[in-house]
Amino acid sequence: MANSLVIVESPAKAKTINKYLGSGYTVKASMGHVLDLPKKDLGVNLRDHFKPTYVVIPGKKPIIDELKQAAKTAAAVYLAADPDREGEAICAHLQELLASKKQRIQRVFFNEITREAIREAFKHPREIDTNLVDAQQARRILDRLVGYQVSPLLWEKVKRGISAGRVQTVALRLIVEREREIRAFVKREYWTITARLEGGNPPPFDARMVKINGDDPEIPDQETADRHVSAARAAGFVVDSVATREKRKFPVPPFITSKLQQEAVRKLHFSAKKAMAVAQRLYEGVDLGAEGSVGLITYMRTDSTRVSEGALSAAREYVLKQFGKDYLPAEPVRYKSKKDAQDAHEAIRPTEVEREPDSVKSYLDTDEYKLYKLIWQRFVASQMNPALYDQTTIDVKSGDTLFRATGAVEKFRGFRAVYVEGQDDRADDEEAEELKHRLPKVEPGERLKLHQILPEQHFTEPPPRYNEATLVKTLEEKGIGRPSTYATILSVIQNREYVEKVQGRFFPTELGMVTSDLLVKNFTEIFDVTYTARMEEELDEVEEGKLAWTDALTGFYRKFNKELRTAERQMADLKGEGVVTDVKCEVCGKPMVIRLGRNGQFLACSGYPDCEATRDLTPELAAQYGSAAAPEVPEQACEKCGKPMVVKRGRFGYFLACSGYPECRNTKRIVMGDGKATAVQDVTLDEKCPECGSALVIKHGRYGQFTACSNYPECKFVKRQTLGIHCPEKDCSGELIVRRTRRGKTFYGCSRYPECKFVAWDKPIAGPCPQCGSPILLEKKSKKSGPRRVCPNETCKYEVAVEQTSEAAVKV
């Protein structure tokens, strides 16, 4: 008897499904898409309603032949690709290739790879959803139109090999605009005033000045701060009011794709791409020994927070059994998805809530275990009661000023017994901060004793550069792309060298800034944030059957083609002819042009190759001709030879160099801040270079400060920053030093590397551990709980908080 043929995308998924289906089925993998638009040409007929031409992807012919042969002898053919637009398109292409009058080809659709879900899906096969296919096809053609028609323009005008993307360009634009905000930002000084007070009952507590004459305080300088401090001291401190209320903090919904990527970046330090790759493995199936291959999570590409009734019931039973009735809500918690969410799939959750992370840890690699644990914890917490706090606010009057102290006591952990959500830049976890301050019992009218009063100087800060979590969050909030595309977007802008990720933050390169500026200037609508978001909405409407895919493309191409023709005529040519300027070549007298080289824009003679004269692009010329420019740095003389210092551009950006080069090789790094460029001076130390005897200096490199020989480049000695701690590895004579990754992230390793491979991401502290005797401890830092010292021995749970004291306190 012939078996039924089931086709999925990957061998891992095939292995898991085959276990559940049994001997009556043969499961094979297509290895992803089998058809696509051709690589060598556009593949879209612009005169025939955007009709695409699909070809077999190179290398896929043997797979297709194998599938065709298997289909000939199969009793039935089931297409079981992933339940999304891409999966539906794969199924549609396979149906086209395997079409036969002898048998019916059907689509099976499941959100999780479990025995029950698979068997249920095969009981109710359906036809391929043409709306989903149309939506995928529309997106693919949109991206092809932009990529294949704008990229050649960039090759001609800027640099061969670079590319433009409909969505990636908008993501790059966000990064470039943020960088310009940071460079233009001018910090502003402000002061806060905090009083350390004590009443009749301990302990002392801190109260911050929050009102002056009923208005928010504006304290711009120390003189004003000192005046308020003196007035407060003279007036004394009296309790004005005491208010206590119960505060609730509710759990967050189970993961959707974007939130999973953000939290994996924050808590696990994964990239978005890595998070999705690991989630894919957990979804497709992991070998659990005697149990065989098991899908551990539901489908990981979703923007719906919906959870099946069966999963809700299982989660509630687990919470009741493990935590008790106090932790279980009276009714299941159902979360509302955002208005434009595609509700075909559930939220990301474990397929079996009883399968605790530690029960499968031995079968998972480290990354799989971490991500599964994160998904499991968030799902369980989502069906638990809120955390409860007693929040107390004490208002204290001091003359015409009001001081306020706020503290909270957690009286019921609720969902926080399982999971606490991570935070982004400068996101104040108010509950965690309040829990640090236990307030005493005081009464209105009670006079308080002043221990000290602390005026503290602050400066406003520019917006932070994006990391992967905050960029994904911004893309989601602005409606740019879809969750399934975020990881690809972030990878592409890095692979194209438009941005660099340094210590986890995105910095636009010179190429990225130039490319973004040219595209945004010449395609004002297509690469507009709002318009790009609207196109995503139209693709959703195609998926819902509300809009024909050809109508969506027609509206887009009308605008795009108009801007493309204008750009072909007007876009600045930085590669070929260059942007012609009024500057004359000092060698031959011909006009100089602005061109783009490997290290950015520069002035070159239009007589090239007969004349090879070049010059740096000045800020004035850049502004005049609308190009990115070197930063303006105040004129200064070289401290080594007295000649003027000039702005140069290198592989890693702008720097100051002596005009006496090559006789004098003195350089300084240029940093941007407060809306201006500043040259950072090397600091000479009393210490001598052990190799040549010259003075050592503190230099400022791309990733921060380091100590090196002042006689560079003749002497290339760089001093390793040592911690003065012996390597904890047994029988190792090395010491621990500060090292940096290629991306600039600090870590700590042994000086005898590669013989000794000890490394630590957290700063080692000389031990020993009081519990297990480990020779070192590690200092972990957290915005929420402050610094802690923990034992690096995984079997030892020793942990202690590090006391933080303020040396700036003004004591009474």
Please give the DSSP secondary-structure letter assigned to residue 715: -
Q: Are 637 and 643 in contact (CB under 8 A)?
A: yes
73 to 26, 34, 64: CA distances (angstroms): 11, 21, 15
DSSP annotation string for 228-243: HHHHHHHH-EEEEEEE
Q: How far apart are CA 56 and CA 63, in angstroms?
A: 11
**Based on the number of CB atoms within 10 Å of its own CB, is 301 exposed (0-12), middle (13-18) or buried (19 or more)?**
buried
Residue 197 forms beta bridges with which residues? 205, 450
Q: Are 369 and 355 in contact (CB under 8 A)?
A: no
Q: Are 724 and 735 in contact (CB under 8 A)?
A: yes
What three-state secondary structure class fits 749?
strand
Listed residue (552, 68, 385, 449) closest to 233, CA to CA:
449
Q: How far apart are CA 810 and CA 456, in angstroms?
A: 10
Q: What is the number of other CB atoms lying within 10 angstroms of the CB of residue 683?
A: 12
Q: How far apart are CA 348 and CA 301, in angstroms?
A: 8
What three-state secondary structure class fits 718?
strand
What tokens does 263 get?
Answer: 């939290």
What tokens does 610 get?
Answer: 């007969």
DSSP annotation string for 51-80: EE--EEPTT-HHHHHHHHHHHHT-S-EEE-
**Out of 20, 25, 283, 299, which one is annotated catalytic?**
299
Q: How far apart are CA 452 and CA 194, in angstroms?
A: 9
Q: Is the peptide bond before 662 cis (omega within 30 degrees of 0)?
A: yes
Listed residue (205, 237, 655, 597) closest to 393, CA to CA:
205
What dihedral angle (degrees, nearest 10) is formed by the CA atoms of 33, 36, 38, 39? -50
Contacts 24+ apart (CB under 8 A), 262-267: 262/422, 262/424, 262/469, 262/472, 262/473, 263/374, 263/378, 263/421, 263/422, 263/469, 264/371, 264/374, 265/467, 265/468, 265/469, 265/472, 266/422, 266/423, 266/424, 266/469, 267/374, 267/422
Contacts 24+ apart (CB under 8 A), 202-206: 202/440, 203/438, 203/440, 204/440, 204/451, 205/394, 205/405, 205/407, 205/437, 205/439, 205/440, 206/405, 206/437
What three-state secondary structure class fits 588?
coil
Is 299 part of the annotated catalytic residue set? yes
End-to-end CA distance of the chain: 94
Q: How far apart are CA 712 and CA 708, in angstroms?
A: 8
Furthest CA-CA distance within the chain: 98
Counting every residue, how long is the chain?
A: 812
Listed residue (746, 183, 239) closest to 447, CA to CA:
239
Q: Which residues contact 682 (CB under 8 A, 6 or more apart)?
A: 668, 697, 698, 699, 700, 710
Which residues are known catalytic residues? 299
